[in-house]
Amino acid sequence: MAPFSRFLLAVALLPVVQVAAGARYSGIFSFGDSLADTGNSLRLAATSSGPSSRPPYGETFFRHPTGRASDGRLVIDFIVEALGLPNPRPYLAGKSAGDFRRGANFAVGGSTALGPDFFDSRGLKPFVPVSFTNQTSWFKDVLQLFGSVHERRRMMARSLFLVGEIGVNDYLVALGNNTVGVGELRAFVPHIVAAVRSVLTEVIAAGARTVLVPGMIPLGCEPQLLALYRSGDYDPETGCITELNHLAELHNRALNGMLRQLRRAHPGVAILYADLYTAVADFIVSPRKYGFRDKPLAACCGGGKGAYNFNMTAFCGAAGTAACADPSEFVSWDGVHFTEAANRHISPAPRSRSTRPLLHLCFCPAEMQPSQMVLRFGLWSGRPQQDRRVPGGTH
């Protein structure tokens, strides 16, 4: 098996410290689910009393729950720190134009890419009443708060857009129904990718010039799914479920295909893909390289014990559950979400002068054309990535 590459984006350009102050991004707009939700879930009736509203969530950095599904910071937190920006305000926590001058976070824990009609037609029920359709509507509402069309487009051009990760909950809704097999979930992929494309089309039409699109994580390595989904096909080296990783790989191939189409349609927009799959898989294959324990498939917090420390009826934060002594030794926080330590390794924030982040973001001037980026730095921004084989899966 070939060793994993570091988690690289399609484009790796200037670090933020080398970008002239006048060319820095002025804000961030984020769409997604619990991997990016920094507080909307606390303000939504369906999720306000959820696990992330209770200790020990937030214990590592904030010292109290903030609505983030982790012991501390998320990848988006490290991105805004690297850019020298304040965190974008959760959409449900703001009202005025002043609240969103530096961006907005529309992500909601439990959100799906697909709307309720898609699930209703299949006899399925989403976890929360929020999909990418709602988040797009919220984005349009924020746009209307600002002045002229010119002002809006100028703000969008100088902002970084994060669209995703999204889709995990769409698959989990179906798997939790116990009537839909992994093979049937393959039919979900084009619909989810189309929903991502719809959001991308909206933000580009509004004036976005730099968009980062994270891909799907290796589903077969999630402690929750390992504990709940019984499979006869596990990778002998990692213990991950092969067919679920195949699904994630199919999702990422389709997502990349769509992004290539959008790049051709919008040559003046930098549309970047973030390979979450390889980053997380590398933690599983080589945990000690990142300071994790030798059992990377076990959750830090929960009451499940066993190999994965996961039990849906004894979820992290519930009575009788407990967090591990040192979350930084774990990849998974609660069996579903990542620890701050894992998020830090994924993010573009350097951990010391001698280490490099797994994620290399395009911290480039909003005025710079994608073609100039390639010519100046000799790096790729539109060609397909080389295949990366992951244990238990193929590309």
* Nearest Cα to Cα of residue 310 among 300, 296, 319: 300
Q: Is 236 exposed, middle or buried (0-12, 13-18, 19+ CB in 10 A)?
A: exposed
Rounded-to-integer distance, Cα 57 and Cα 60, Å:
8
Residue 334 known to be catalytic: yes
**Chain position carrying tokens 């305000």:** 89
* Nearest Cα to Cα of residue 368 among 113, 117, 23, 74: 23
166 Cβ contact partners less than 8 Å away, ≥ 6 residues apart: 31, 32, 33, 111, 112, 113, 132, 192, 195, 196
**Chain position carrying tokens 């976890």:** 127
Residue 191 known to be catalytic: no
The catalytic position among 30, 34, 70, 159 is 34
- Which contacts qualify for 48-56: CB closer than 8 Å, 24 or more apart? 50/109, 51/315, 51/316, 51/317, 51/318, 51/334, 52/109, 52/317, 54/317, 55/317, 56/301, 56/316, 56/317, 56/323
Query: Hey, what are 80's tokens?
Result: 């805004």
Helix (H) or strand (E) holding 270: strand 270-274
* Nearest Cα to Cα of residue 46 among 125, 139, 136: 125
The sign of the dihedral angle between the CA atoms of 15, 262, 250, 135 is: positive
The catalytic position among 33, 71, 275, 334 is 334
Helix (H) or strand (E) holding 272: strand 270-274
Query: Hey, what are 197's tokens?
Result: 């494309």
The catalytic position among 337, 347, 360, 381 is 337
Residue 294 known to be catalytic: no
The sign of the dihedral angle between the CA atoms of 244, 247, 253, 256 is: negative
Estimate the share of the chain in helix, then strand, then coil, as percent rounded to the nearest 5: 40, 10, 50
Annotated catalytic residues are 34, 334, 337
